[in-house]
A and B are shown apart, each in its own frame.
Chain A
Amino acid sequence: MIRDLVNRLHGQVQVRVECAFPERVMNLCAAHNLRFWDLCREDEHTFTCVLRRRDYRLLRRMAPRAQASVTPLRRSGAPYFFLRLRARPVLAVGAAAVGLWLMLGTFFIWDFQVEGNKTVPTETILRALERQGVGIGSFGLSLDGEDLRNRILLEIPELVWLTVNVSGCRAQVQVRERVTVPEGVDRSPPSNLVARRGGLVLEIHAFSGIKCVVPGMSVEEGQILLAGVEDTGTFGARTTAGLGEVTARTWHTLATRVPLLAQRKVYTGEKQALSLIFGKKRIKFFPNSSIEGRRYDKITTRKQLSFLGIPLPVSVERETFRFYETQRLSLSASDAAARGEQALTQYLRAVVSPYGEICSTRTDLRTLGDTLEVTLRAECEEEIGVTVPIYMSP
């Protein structure tokens, strides 16, 4: 491959040699150190081969000595390319300008890659960098990493370390987040543990405070489960923090109405718009592509261009507009029931999941004119205790 590249840089010519004794031409080439390759015999007196540009000239001069004729078939390589460009000066200047632009472009930052952040969003880090003057189009060689780190760490206290490494036109931002010390349980303020919702108590684990319920008891919302006030019998009442876990079986009833007439999207057409983004500048290819008064879904895809793995400061953005019209659609009872059940189950899961799990569900349906009433009844097991402070008069 490297040899092929060198040959192309020197320029190469594929020739057809006709001679009564082709071996004489080969020996002549070898004797004068004319390198040839890709030799292909066409018939008894003719063969084709490839030579370097300089060797071709020598062979052409020597060919009459071997009573041979040399015909060039194809010229390729850098010298011939530049010879062709001589007739098109604007193209040559354009190519040179692009090359210069690409070369200068590598001194600037055109892409950011943030690593090591889990809780701090990438956007926050990039905005902080931008406020410190490091953004798309900044000169990459003049970055003062230490100064930048000191400023960013003051601005984002969740970070403990930051470094910016510029490689080509990509800035790699590496961060380390602060590990927060977990908060300890504060047992000092007096509190009760009360029921968040009614249910049947299954298990009770008291860490502190007095148990007011036992497993098997049904409780109502707001009922004290673990009391923070203890009667000592001799010294009067003593206050403490009522802490513990109470698991109970609970029942939820949710209802919703689903209309039996719905609207459906019918796509009528599609339109695409392309734009090129240079850093922060956008060039639209379809300037008169404004869309008014029509309903559409807009899908935007952006792709950054790269050359041999090096990101270029150019992105291609494609916007696809999918136009639609709405159509009235009558839903069957089963479809409407499925929709209603799905919505209710989703809501129930959002309510119960932080505390426990859903054990079983049952759905009831009732038609009310143009709507279907869906009722979801669920049995769950969940943690129902919630700490409520005891306010004491000073």
Chain B
Amino acid sequence: MDQFTINIIFVGGSFMLYVAIAIWARAGTTSEFYAAGRGVNPVVNGAATAADWMSAASFISMAGLIAFVGYDNSTFLMGWTGGYVLLALLLAPYLRKFGRYTVPEFIGDRFYSQTARMVAVISLLVMSITYVIGQMAGAGVAFSRFLEVDATTGLIIAAAVVFAYAVLGGMKGITYTQLAQYCVLITAYTIPAVFISLQLTNNPIPPLGLFSTHVESGMPLLAKLDEIVQELGFRDYTSNHGSMLNMTLFTISLMIGTAGLPHVIIRFFTVPKVSDARWSAGWALVFIALLYLTAPAVGAMARLNIMTTIYPDGTDSQPISYEERPDWMRTWEQTGLLAFEDKNNDGLIQYYNDASPEFAAIAAERGWEGNEMVRFNNDILVLANPEIAQLPGWVIGLIAAGGLAAALSTAAGLLLAISSAVSHDLIKSTINPNISEKGELLAARISMAGAIVVATYLGANPPGFAAQVVALAFGLAASSLFPAIMMGIFSKKMNTAGAVTGMLVGLGSTLLYIFTYLGWFFIPGTNMLENVPANWLFGISPLSFGAVGAALNFIAAYVVMNMTKEPPEEIQELVESIRVPRGAGSAQSH
């Protein structure tokens, strides 16, 4: 059986499973559509949250990001997991006790203000729509690589599948498909990692393999990697090369950004009890950690593998010739994500850091005229892993299904956050408060369908700023929603004026800082300052500014709160009531 047929079987099989779940888990009420009837087991919700959270970026890109940068990109590992501690301790149990359906609804009710609710709706829509574009585009790429259809056709197939389970099942359908998607993606990620770890270190557990001995050289794996990359003029893998302040702020931005993402928060509305919300955050992190502990091992091992593939007899000897390159390189060259150029016409592949002045003399002495692996896209690393480790064809099919599961599960979660904001926060609360339960459910389904159409269109025609959007989403979540929700719970005296000012200051300062360096609305050429570390305020990169925006939000809110009237008695009682678990019960009808 050829690889194409195997890929079709795996991807097609997983899609049929998702659609079958959708038919089984149809939503009949708004409570089921928005919050899966609040009947989801906390462990199941943990796995669904993990799939919801781990996007194409986690599955496909993260190992590559770590592999080619090393220690400095540990920020992604700490940032994207540390947010769950904030969720479990500061947000999830209280929001579950509050017992409503959307994040803007909490902000609107707690700050007794339609304005506050609308500011929250706008932040939610901007961050979720930008985020979903990346997921749809990622699904399109996975389709075109593995199923040999063009990206747009792939995208439409993916959209049709999401349509089936998200529109029919709402949160209920999404939850159980995400559970299935988690199983698919974690299996796909782990199997090649286990084999690579076994090959390099004899240890079947990749996170342990990362810190054990490299069998071939007898040295610790990371020491071997440091040695080999430095011999070729690259920066060593395990030391710190960037600014510590910037690293710290970037990590904090990712942490609070994670805790403030609405599509993650609403997952905690689906569990039956307040105590379940706490447990569920823990289970979510366990399931996420299975991938996040494996990713740095995959990164380091794959980087070492590539080095030793190109220099089989050590870096002092000749590299392999272009004609004898392994098959996986041939396959990926066809996608354009990997490219070689024989600069000195010797038929061999010289791979080294030609930007290093220290290495220039050695390169000149050897007759090297520049790095000849001219392109190696980070995303290849995970997708080509089974081929690099020479695993059978079915593992490649599994990786294809896993990548799509990661992209689709996140897309579905985001689409639900978008559609519930439209149907519940805009239509039900603002345009037509007298809408019936049936009417609202229909409105929710239509909003979901609309959101899918918009996301598919934008995924097929991504705006120029697609690469920047994830940073924007995290910056916005960190600087606007997280502080507002946290103050709503932990400060009884926080009032409308304080919360609204805080959100606007956090949002405004973060957008301003990002646009200053990346261009107004990401239009190239409109940036006021060149995006280089020398221009950054105190060396803080635009991607790390969310933490500063959040701090400004807190400060502005407190200053304004102290100058304005304290909230009414019933709001202060509301805060008292969400602080204790007793009386959570099921969804309130309103």
Q: Do chains A and B interact in one complex?
A: no
